[in-house]
Amino acid sequence: MPHLVIEYSANLPGFDAAATLAACNEFLADTGHFSEADIKSRAVRHDQFRVGTAREGRGFVHVTLWLLSGRPENVKQALSRGVLEALEQTFTKPEGLDVQLSVQMQDMERSTYSKAFL
């Protein structure tokens, strides 16, 4: 915990998923809310997607950050803003493409979350 998942449209040839994951992980580690080794992140490219009704000319990068439940709203808001800033810093908008960047916070119920160290 936390789990960070970046989903992005395939029409972003310059999107550097590795750099974005690194920037997000650095931000999360620097907040002091998490142990650095507990931050797990991954990126998923979507080859089949639509943004609105347009056939082309639009793309997206969406980040979902999963946290154990119980964190105050102001902490979650600050985490959401910080992840968005990390995303914006690593993102280069392609010419002629409208791109939406977004971050969503999700709670994982503490009572049902299980984890093993191997």
Domain extents in the chain: 3-112
Per-residue pLDDT for the chain (118 aa), expressed as one digit of tens each? 899 999 999 999 999 999 999 999 999 999 999 999 999 999 999 999 999 998 899 999 999 999 999 999 999 999 999 999 999 999 999 999 999 999 999 999 988 888 888 8
CA geometry: angle 12, 18, 23, nearest 5 deg: 105
Q: pTM (2 decimals)?
A: 0.93
111 by Cβ neighbours in 10 Å (0-12 / 13-18 / 19+) ranks as exposed
The rounded distance, in Å, linking the Cα atoms of 88 and 73 is: 22
Residue range 3-112, CATH number:
3.30.429.10
C-alpha to C-alpha distances, 91 to 4, 56, 62, 116, nearest whole angstrom:
17, 19, 12, 34
